[in-house]
Chain A
Amino acid sequence: MTETVTMAKALTLGLRRALEDDPKVLIMGEDVGKLGGVFRITDGLQKDFGEHRVIDTPLAESGIAGTAVGLAMRGYRPVVEIQFDGFVYPAFDQIVSQVAKMHARSKGDVPMPLVIRIPYGGGIGAVEHHSESPEAYFAHTAGLRVVSPSNPVDAYWMVQQAVRCPDPVVFFEPKRRYWEKAELDVAVEPAEPLFAGRVARPGRDVTVACYGPMVRTCLDAATAAQQEGRDVEVLDLRTLSPLDLDLIADSVGRTGRLVVVHEASVFLGLGAEIAARVQERCFYLLQAPVLRVGGYHAPYPPSRLEEHYLPDLDRVLDAVDRVMEF
């Protein structure tokens, strides 16, 4: 029984299931209750589950993350929302100093089974701080797990899996894809576990590895490349920490060429880690250096300029051209 859902709706449904399945699950954040969230992701949940489970918090991200730590210690499973990527930084201290380290510090006595949901990425014509891609900061921090769905079906299943995960999960939602639609069958759970990637489109000539908002862009690029006689394999990484290196290495073993695409700036982005690991693991299989397409080493520009900053079909295919020239 399938229904057409937007990613936003899929997340709402997934969170609803999480609340139904475990009475210890809480949702906390700014405007998540009465309003249902500025993107309506938590629409209707407070009405159905009550104010003690779906909580409108004071305007303080550090408070949101910090109190989540305490609630987790008390046996709850907080699912907190940071309203926009650019507003996570007041919470960064609590996340990195406490959420990430508590399990290790307590030798497992105090697990942190919480989910930190963050809408991220650009392409929505917004003002400053609403289009960031800070995933590398969190992936770089041991103790945190970091994932990002690219489509409504993954969003539905991955958010539930993240809630059930005993480790803290930073759950990055590509906000520019919130309104894209797909067919969702809630009876058919996909084969992939949470911390695995997937081949989104098989191909022979070159591997394009991407995640979150860029998956759609890279699939479109692969379609355009097909017209030019190029067969591009697109990997939807889905999980950023841990990285699914087996998936990537297997693909590179077959194609010999890799391009990594993300909105975050190239300098010290996830592409750097992937490139380093791939060149180590697949050195003799590489026909070309690993190329990365991403944002520039500059603050995210005003929205009139964002199309030049964000990787698009042309820039992805440009990189594909370049690896094929070797």
Chain B
Amino acid sequence: MPTYQQFTLPDVGEGLTEAEILQWFVAPGDRVSVNQTIVEIETAKAAVELPCPYEGVVAELLVPEGSTVDVGTPIIRIDTDPSGAAPAGEPAVPRAEFVPDPKPSAREALLVGYGVKDAAVTRRPRRPGGGSTRPVTPTRIGGLEVGRAVERALADAPVQAKPPVRKLAKDLGVDLRTVAASGPHGTVTRADVEAAVGAATGATVARGPAGVDRREPVRGVRKHMAEAMVASAFSVPHVTEWVSVDVTRSVKWVRRLRETPGFGEARVSPLLLVARAVIEAIRRTPEVNATFDQAAQEVVYHGDVNLGVAAATPRGLLVPSIKGANRLSLPELALALRELADTARAGRTSPADLTGGTFTLTNVGVFGIDGGTPIINPGEAAILAVGAFRRRPWVHKGSVRARWVAELSLSFDHRFIDGALGSRFLADVADVLEDPAAPLAWT
């Protein structure tokens, strides 16, 4: 039975990657012996003759003269057991044309001295559960065992937290030693610090000595908020309208949606339905999703609804927006709202998130507030404040019942949105919250 061996092109010069086949000295059918010169190749450094590693009969020359092949490519096939007959019925494998054999996988040692191997471009397969091996514990960062004395000190150390978390705690006046740590390996997280802030009674900001004035510089987000509010309030004529809405059906919808598959990962809250209501209502009153371009004396009707949601974050008031909220399905919108909230809470809202909004929602309800006179976000035309969803006495089907009621407060830019438009929009939002199926009947 023929036994075939292949000779692959070696790296003959410490790091060569390829060679040209200059001349074959044997042909298929020739007998060859070990160390017989069979081919001359040319590398970047030299022309070299290669001796045969096998004894037998040449079965096939795999690479023609004149071609350049990579180290590791099989160049000749030799039958080292030519006296054995092939079993009957087994056809020879014809090779009509030159097809370069695939290189051995990057992980195989190319004979010796790997030469300059093919770079791996994918990861080696891992054992199940075999992820990165080094435990991510502060005492073993980098895999170096920390000396015993230091280990002891770390065990006694009051707190472990990342630098940004430490800064946050310092800025908020939180003593890390008093914070419950919920992070991996006993570390205090940003959320832990924020929770500690929320739980603190009284002022969360470090107090100065009683009776003495204290100055605090206005920086960062706070400064931006101050400037934006001034710009908006003193250049745009604000009108605020409000309405009270029976939102009971919406509350029931929220409960139903929470149990619906497709909403599993998302946060389904009343805010989701308010967002949806706003998006639907914008279809009928696109003016509220526009910008008044004072300089060009034009109104820019935006193609998408980039829905901003005011968020109180550790850095202050931020309004990240969900881009193209009008094109999202309800589950997608729910997910987007959740991500927005998570990102804001983690303090990782990016600059891109904070620009490009076209309409803003502000949820004052979480503070237990019903409504107010919200200030429009600069560059936008309107802002809707949603008050707390409360149980209130309401006339329902002719009698007084306890229903879920909320107030909606809409401020709009009276340079180009008049009372009729503003009212219609607000009424539409209210309608959708009162009856989530209302948009089906809209024209």
Give yes or no for direct A-B contact (beta carbon below 8 Å). yes
Contact in complex: A314, B121 (CB < 8 Å) = no
Residues of chain A contacted by B47 (CB below 8 angstroms): none
Residues of chain B contacted by A312 (CB below 8 angstroms): 120
Partner of B164, one of A178, A217, A223, A284: A284
Contact mask for chain B residues 110-137; partner A; CB cutoff 8 A; 1 contact, 0 none: 0011111101111110000001111010
Which of B12-20, B147-155, B202-210, B420-428 is the interface stretch? B12-20
Chain A residue nearest in CB terms to B141: A289
Residues of chain A contacted by B18 (CB below 8 angstroms): 179
**Contacts A289-B142, A322-B134 given: A179-B16 contact, CB under 8 Å?**
yes
Contact in complex: A176, B131 (CB < 8 Å) = no
Residues of chain B contacted by A176 (CB below 8 angstroms): 15, 116
Q: Does A67 contact B (CB under 8 A)?
A: no
Q: Does A220 contact B (CB under 8 A)?
A: yes
Could you tell me the distance in whole angstroms from the C-beta of B154 to the nearest C-beta in chain A?
A: 14
Residues of chain A contacted by B119 (CB below 8 angstroms): 216-217, 220, 313
Contact mask for chain B residues 74-112; partner A; CB cutoff 8 A; 1 contact, 0 none: 000000000000000000000000000000000001001
Q: Does B380 contact A (CB under 8 A)?
A: no
A215-236 at interface with B (beta carbon < 8 Å): 216-217, 220, 223-224, 227
Could you tell me the distance in whole angstroms from the C-beta of B73 to the nearest C-beta in chain A?
A: 15
Contact in complex: B121, A125 (CB < 8 Å) = no
Q: Does A262 contact B (CB under 8 A)?
A: no
**Contacts A179-B16, A313-B120 given: A287-B162 contact, CB under 8 Å?**
yes
Residues of chain B contacted by A289 (CB below 8 angstroms): 141-142
A1-53 at interface with B (beta carbon < 8 Å): 6, 8, 38-40
Chain B residue nearest in CB terms to A35: B45
Contact in complex: B123, A314 (CB < 8 Å) = yes
Q: Does A130 contact B (CB under 8 A)?
A: yes
Contact in complex: A123, B16 (CB < 8 Å) = no
Q: Does A109 contact B (CB under 8 A)?
A: no
Residues of chain A contacted by B124 (CB below 8 angstroms): 314
Complex formed: what's the CA distance from A314 to B119 in Å? 11
**Contacts A125-B14, A318-B133, A325-B132 given: A313-B115 contact, CB under 8 Å?**
no
Chain B residue nearest in CB terms to A37: B45
Q: Does A183 contact B (CB under 8 A)?
A: no
Contact in complex: B116, A179 (CB < 8 Å) = yes
A293-326 at interface with B (beta carbon < 8 Å): 303-304, 306-307, 312-314, 317-319, 321-322, 325-326
Contact in complex: A223, B114 (CB < 8 Å) = no
Residues of chain B contacted by A179 (CB below 8 angstroms): 15-18, 44, 116
Q: Does B283 contact A (CB under 8 A)?
A: no
**Contacts A312-B120, A313-B123, A325-B136 given: A40-B115 contact, CB under 8 Å?**
no
Contact in complex: A286, B142 (CB < 8 Å) = no
Partner of B136, one of A39, A178, A326: A326
Partner of A8, one of B44, B136, B142: B44
Contact in complex: B122, A125 (CB < 8 Å) = no
Q: Does B11 contact A (CB under 8 A)?
A: yes
Q: Does B391 contact A (CB under 8 A)?
A: no
Chain A residue nearest in CB terms to B167: A284
Complex formed: what's the CA distance from A283 to B164 in Å? 8
Contact in complex: B14, A124 (CB < 8 Å) = yes
B239-261 at interface with A (beta carbon < 8 Å): none
Complex formed: what's the CA distance from A319 to B132 in Å? 8
Residues of chain A contacted by B16 (CB below 8 angstroms): 179
Q: Does A101 contact B (CB under 8 A)?
A: no
Contact in complex: B162, A326 (CB < 8 Å) = yes
Could you tell me the distance in whole angstroms from the C-beta of B421 to the nearest C-beta in chain A?
A: 41
Contact in complex: B14, A126 (CB < 8 Å) = yes
Q: Does B220 contact A (CB under 8 A)?
A: no
Residues of chain B contacted by A325 (CB below 8 angstroms): 132, 136, 184
Q: Does A291 contact B (CB under 8 A)?
A: yes
Contact in complex: A223, B121 (CB < 8 Å) = yes
Complex formed: what's the CA distance from A129 to B45 in Å? 20
Contact in complex: A286, B163 (CB < 8 Å) = yes
Could you tell me the distance in whole angstroms from the C-beta of B316 to the nearest C-beta in chain A?
A: 17
Complex formed: what's the CA distance from A223 to B119 in Å? 12
Contact in complex: A126, B15 (CB < 8 Å) = yes
User: How many residues of B are in contact with the other chain, CB < 8 A?
Assistant: 33
A259-287 at interface with B (beta carbon < 8 Å): 283-287
Contact in complex: A124, B116 (CB < 8 Å) = yes
Contact in complex: B121, A123 (CB < 8 Å) = no
**Contacts A123-B116, A283-B163 given: A224-B136 contact, CB under 8 Å?**
no
Q: Does A175 contact B (CB under 8 A)?
A: yes
B31-87 at interface with A (beta carbon < 8 Å): 44-45
Complex formed: what's the CA distance from A255 to B141 in Å? 19
Complex formed: what's the CA distance from A89 to B131 in Å? 41
Contact in complex: A40, B116 (CB < 8 Å) = no
Q: Does A145 contact B (CB under 8 A)?
A: no
Contact in complex: A126, B113 (CB < 8 Å) = yes
Complex formed: what's the CA distance from A175 to B142 in Å? 29
Residues of chain B contacted by A319 (CB below 8 angstroms): 132
Complex formed: what's the CA distance from A284 to B161 in Å? 12
Residues of chain A contacted by B117 (CB below 8 angstroms): 123, 307
Residues of chain A contacted by B133 (CB below 8 angstroms): 318
Partner of B113, one of A38, A124, A217, A318: A124
Complex formed: what's the CA distance from A312 to B11 in Å? 20
Residues of chain B contacted by A178 (CB below 8 angstroms): 15, 44
Partner of A125, one of B45, B112, B136, B163: B112
Contact in complex: A303, B114 (CB < 8 Å) = yes
Q: Does A117 contact B (CB under 8 A)?
A: no
Partner of B162, one of A130, A286, A306: A286
Chain B residue nearest in CB terms to A125: B113
Chain A residue nearest in CB terms to B134: A322
Contact in complex: B44, A6 (CB < 8 Å) = yes
Complex formed: what's the CA distance from A8 to B45 in Å? 11
Contact in complex: A224, B14 (CB < 8 Å) = no
Residues of chain B contacted by A326 (CB below 8 angstroms): 136, 162
Could you tell me the distance in whole angstroms from the C-beta of A119 to the nearest C-beta in chain B?
A: 9
Q: Does A292 contact B (CB under 8 A)?
A: yes
Residues of chain B contacted by A288 (CB below 8 angstroms): 162
Could you tell me the distance in whole angstroms from the C-beta of B48 to the nearest C-beta in chain A?
A: 14
Residues of chain A contacted by B115 (CB below 8 angstroms): 124-125
The 4 closest A-B pairs by CB, nearest first: A125-B113, A124-B15, A321-B132, A179-B17
Question: A residues near B, CB below 8 A?
Answer: 6, 8, 38-40, 123-126, 130, 175-176, 178-180, 216-217, 220, 223-224, 227, 283-289, 291-292, 303-304, 306-307, 312-314, 317-319, 321-322, 325-326
A-B contact pairs, 21 of them (CB 8 A): A40-B44, A123-B114, A125-B114, A126-B14, A130-B14, A176-B116, A178-B15, A179-B18, A217-B119, A220-B119, A224-B122, A283-B163, A286-B163, A286-B164, A289-B142, A303-B113, A313-B121, A314-B120, A322-B134, A325-B184, A326-B136
Q: A176-B116, A179-B116 are in contact. List 13 more A-B contacts (CB 8 A).
A: A40-B45, A123-B117, A124-B116, A125-B113, A126-B14, A179-B17, A179-B44, A224-B121, A224-B123, A284-B163, A286-B163, A307-B114, A325-B132
